[in-house]
């Protein structure tokens, strides 16, 4: 959970300044929704801390999502056919209950999320401003499934005139292929996690395409460290050396510790 | 994590082991006091935050997806584990390395 929140926070931070379609009504609705969410989860936490049985259980949809969905739907309809419809449609895609919570093995074809995604594919894949939504949409694979998202990314690649948008679509395909390798999975230490290593090869080829075909785009800048990670930082590889300074200004290199077991900890107090 | 890390560093003092921190907090100036207060005595590269100019250079190059991210590197310099590991997982992996190094 923590990981998702961090990622989302980072993505929102990265993407917000690029938001091209100001829609005050959407912004206001989002703020209202965020406030309702915060209140809901704070109450849940307080109940748990007091040792009370929380009034909400994980088998149901959190009340704010259920209550706000019709409002986001109405806004998407009101903005239908214009680029401003995309933000509420994306909300609908991302706020469906994830399959891991519903126990479904296949994404539902008739959900609000599935319909919203199809509308984005049909009506908005060629809009320049779609670019800013693509990176966060990648995580909607838990609600609408990878195949449906892949259709969106392919549609943007094929029909969008903007290099930024095409680059993000290509980057998103690569990142989706690589995601199972991004974090350690149970069984990794024994070399036994269930994944197709060919996906990692496909991912790196696709990241390279982003650099080659769309140089200078934001997606290209983000593809670079992914290529480094896949080529240099996988389990079993020789760790590349780096250096930096400590609080006293003394240079520290990773290779200073050769011969020792190293626990390398990327951290902060925040 | 800090209390467990302090304990781990103390426990493995005489072993061929190092806990190497890459700290990505912003504002280098306040950190010294913070390190002292929390007993962070092990080596730490202080790289600055993602938002700072030239900050988080190693985190960015290593494509760190979230914090804390752990890499465990064996005495020959090979990456043996990588990811969001719990303290228990870290201890087990380190012990496994010591066990493997025994003749």
Examine residue A205 and say whether the peptide bond preceding it is cis (omega within 30 degrees of 0).
no
For residue A2, what is the DSSP state?
H
The CA-based dihedral angle spanning residues A201, A203, A206, A210, taken in that order and rounded to the nearest 10 degrees: -130
User: B18 and A268 in contact by Cβ < 8 A?
Assistant: no
Q: Give me the torsion for CA of A184, A189, A192, A195, rounded to 10°.
A: 20
For residue B39, name the pLDDT band (cuts at 50, 70, 90): very high
Locate A6 and state its tokens: 């961090």
User: What tens digit of pLDDT does each residue of A210-220 get?
Assistant: 999 999 999 99
pLDDT of residue A185: 64
Q: CB neighbours (10 Å) of residue A265?
A: 22
In angstroms, rounded to a whole number, what is the distance separating the alpha carbons of residues B48 and B80? 27
Chain A residues in contact with B46 (beta carbon < 8 A): 244-247
**Percent above pLDDT 70 for chain A:** 89
CB contact under 8 A, A225 and B63: yes
Q: What is the DSSP letter of A59?
A: T
Structure confidence at residue A180 (pLDDT):
84
Reduced to 3 states (helix: H, G, I; strand: E, B; else coil), residue A45 is: helix
Residue that the structure tokens 């080596």 belong to? B43
Domain count, chain B: 1
Is the pLDDT confidence value at A14 over 50? no
Residue-wise pLDDT for A109-128, tens only, equals 889 999 999 999 999 999 99
Q: What pLDDT digit, counting tens, does each position of A73-95 carry?
A: 999 999 999 999 999 999 999 99
Residues of B within 8 A of A2 (CB-CB) are 66
What CATH number does the domain containing B69 carry? Answer: 3.40.30.10
Average pLDDT on A12-28 reads 65
Q: What residue numbers bound the domain in which B72 lies?
A: 2-101
- The pLDDT score that the predictor gives to residue A11 is 47
Q: What is the bridge-based pairing of β-strands B79-83 and B69-73?
A: antiparallel
Spell out a b/e string for A1-38, using b for 16 or more CB atoms within 10 Å of the CB, else e: eeeeeebeeeeeeebeeeeeeebeebeebbeebeebee
Query: Would you say A262 and B73 are in contact if contact means Cβ atoms under 8 Å apart?
Result: yes
CB contacts, 8 Å: A3 with chain B:
65-66, 84
In this predicted structure, what is the pLDDT of residue A195?
A: 76
Assembly ipTM: 0.96
Candidates A181, A200, A268, partner chain B, best to mutate (most B CBs within 10 A): A268
Q: Pairing mode, if any, of strands A251-253 and A243-245?
A: antiparallel
How close are the terminal C-alpha atoms of chain A, in Å?
Answer: 18
Q: What is the pLDDT of residue A188?
A: 63
In tens, the pLDDT along B63-88 reads 998 899 999 999 999 999 998 888 99
Q: Which residues face B83 on adjacent strands?
A: B70
Cβ separation B82–A260 shorter than 8 A: no
Cα B37 to chain centroid, rounded: 18
What distance in Å separates residue B63's CA from the closest CA in chain A? Answer: 5
Beta-carbon separation of A267 and B97 below 8 A: no
Percent share of chain A, pLDDT over 90 = 66
Closest Cα in chain B to A266 = B22
Quote the DSSP letter at residue A260.
Answer: S
Higher pLDDT, B101 or A27: A27
Query: Mutation test of the interface with chain B: which of A3, A242, A265, A269, choosing the one with the most B Cβ atoms within 10 A?
Result: A265
Structure tokens at A232: 């240099």
Picking from A240, A267, A270 by the largest number of B CB atoms within 10 A of its own CB, the best residue to mutate is A267
């Amino acid at each position: 959970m923590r990981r998702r929140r961090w990622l989302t926070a980072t993505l929102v931070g990265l993407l917000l300044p690029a938001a091209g379609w100001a829609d005050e009504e959407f912004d206001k609705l989002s703020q209202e929704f965020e406030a309702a969410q915060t209140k809901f989860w704070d109450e849940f936490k307080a109940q748990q801390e007091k040792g009370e049985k929380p009034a909400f259980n994980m088998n149901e949809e959190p009340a704010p999502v259920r209550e706000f969905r019709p409002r986001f739907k109405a806004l998407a309809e009101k903005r239908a056919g214009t680029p401003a419809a995309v933000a509420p449609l994306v909300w609908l895609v991302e706020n469906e209950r994830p399959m891991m919570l519903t126990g479904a093995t296949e994404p539902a074809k008739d959900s609000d999320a599935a319909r919203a995604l199809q509308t984005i594919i049909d009506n908005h894949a060629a809009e320049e401003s779609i670019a800013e939504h693509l990176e966060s949409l990648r995580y909607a694979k838990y609600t609408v499934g990878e195949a449906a998202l892949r259709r969106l990314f392919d549609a943007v690649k094929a029909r969008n005139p903007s290099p930024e948008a095409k680059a993000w679509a290509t980057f998103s395909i690569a990142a989706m292929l690589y995601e199972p390798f991004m974090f350690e999975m149970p069984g990794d230490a024994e070399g036994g996690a269930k994944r197709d290593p060919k996906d990692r090869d496909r991912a790196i080829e696709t990241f390279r395409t982003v650099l080659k075909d769309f140089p200078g785009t934001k997606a290209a800048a983000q593809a670079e460290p992914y290529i480094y990670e896949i080529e240099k930082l996988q389990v079993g590889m020789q760790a590349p050396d780096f250096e930096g300074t400590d609080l006293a200004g003394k240079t520290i290199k990773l290779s200073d510790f050769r011969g020792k077991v190293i626990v390398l900890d990327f951290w902060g107090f925040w | 994590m800090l209390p467990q890390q302090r304990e781990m560093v103390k426990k493995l003092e005489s072993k061929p082991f190092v806990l190497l921190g890459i700290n990505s907090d912003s504002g280098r100036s306040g950190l010294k006091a913070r390190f002292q207060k929390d007993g962070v005595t092990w080596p730490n590269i202080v790289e600055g935050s993602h938002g700072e100019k030239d900050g988080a250079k190693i985190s960015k190059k290593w494509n760190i997806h979230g914090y804390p991210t752990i890499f465990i590197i064996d005495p020959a310099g090979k990456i043996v584990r990588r990811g969001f590991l719990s303290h228990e997982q870290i201890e087990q992996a380190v012990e496994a390395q010591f066990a493997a190094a025994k003749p």
